[in-house]
Amino acid sequence: MKKTKTIAVVSEKGGVGKTATLLNLAGSLVINQKKKVLVVDLNPQQDLSTNLGYVPPTVKSKTISEYIYDQLEGVDFPIVAESDKTGFIKHTDYGLDYMPANRNTLELLPRNLSDSEEDNMCIARVLKDEMFLDYDFIFIDCKDSLVAHLVPQILMASDYALPVAEVGINSVFDVSEVIKKINNRYAATIIGVVLNKVTEMSNIAKNILQAAQQEYGKYLFATQIPDRKAQIEQANDLHLPCVIARNVHRKKNTLAGYYTALADEFLEKIK
């Protein structure tokens, strides 16, 4: 029987490439490996939804964030009707499904969270819904920081964590902090840390990479994503993952090969 695996994509620092990694890894799994994948935007910044080309409807409609809100309030008569739920999941032409959230409701949510066990399990309750059963993988795009805005609740509800770290002066520290915090606080298993925006141009960068590899080798994905901003932006402009954008855009998208390798490694690690 298929068992859906839920993966929280997290980082301690902002702007490291969580959304880009999630979208391109998910896209590769759909295109190359024919997996059924859902990506869920639970970051109030909503970059994932924007990068997928989502335009919020002018008519007010319910999203996954109202459903989470509903779980928190514990209302007997849910504000989300069964018929609304079909609209939660959006479909792309190439087979990746996604769930945008309602920014306003999502931003309200943390204020309602308390220390209670029940509140902390709000995402776990939502993920039990039948609409999630059909997927091989559900990736959740989180806000930066492991303690802010729903991230603890998402990590409690997820089978796996996939931290992303940008390779910079502080990256070794980031990697160690993220690994420690997740291992100490949450049951989610770390699949691997993705090193992103990797450049081997400078000696400092080389040293940082070497240090990270020596100390955290067993946690790191062997595939490292190089620093190629123009390619990420081209793909985002087309609302496509790099594995498809490379066939559409005239300029070569060399990141596609890296994300393909990352997806292969991901499947190997998650077996």
Q: Which residues bind ligand ATP (CB under 6 A)?
A: 11, 14-20, 43, 45, 47, 144, 196-197, 225, 227-229, 232-233
Please work out the total of residues on this chain that contact Mg ion, with binding judged by CB under 5 A.
Answer: 3
Residue 197 in the binding site for Mg ion (CB under 5 A): no
233 binds, among Mg ion, ligand ATP, none (CB under 5 to 8 A by kind): ligand ATP
Minimum distance from CB of 259 to ligand ATP (Å)? 10
CA dist., res. 171 & res. 180, Å (int):
14
Taking CB under 5 A as the rule, does residue 246 contact Mg ion?
A: no
Task: Return the residue of 6, 11, 19, 46 that touches Mg ion, per CB under 5 A.
Answer: 19
- CB distance 225 to 185 below 8 Å: no
For residue 148, give the amino acid letter. Answer: A
Of 179, 161, 155, the closest CA to residue 269 belongs to 161
What is the three-class DSSP state of 226?
strand
Tell me the three state secondary structure of residue 61. Answer: coil
Closest to ligand ATP by CB, 71 vs 260, is 260
Helical H segments across the chain, by residue range:
18-31, 47-51, 64-73, 82-85, 103-112, 117-120, 122-127, 151-157, 171-185, 203-216, 229-238, 242-248, 255-270
Residue 113 CB, shortest distance to ligand ATP, in Å, is 20
Which residue's CB is nearer to Mg ion, number 10 or number 220?
Answer: 10
Tell me how crowded residue 183 is: count the other CB atoms within 10 A of its CB: 14
| Residue 149 touches Mg ion, criterion: CB under 5 A | no
Considering the complex, state which of residue 70 and residue 152 has its C-beta at the smaller distance from ligand ATP.
Answer: 152
Interatomic CA distance for residues 201 and 188, integer angstroms? 35
225 binds, among ligand ATP, Mg ion, none (CB under 5 to 8 A by kind): ligand ATP
Which is nearer to Mg ion, 52 or 72 (by Cβ)?
52
Question: Where along the sequence are the contacts to Mg ion (CB under 5 A)?
Answer: 18-19, 47
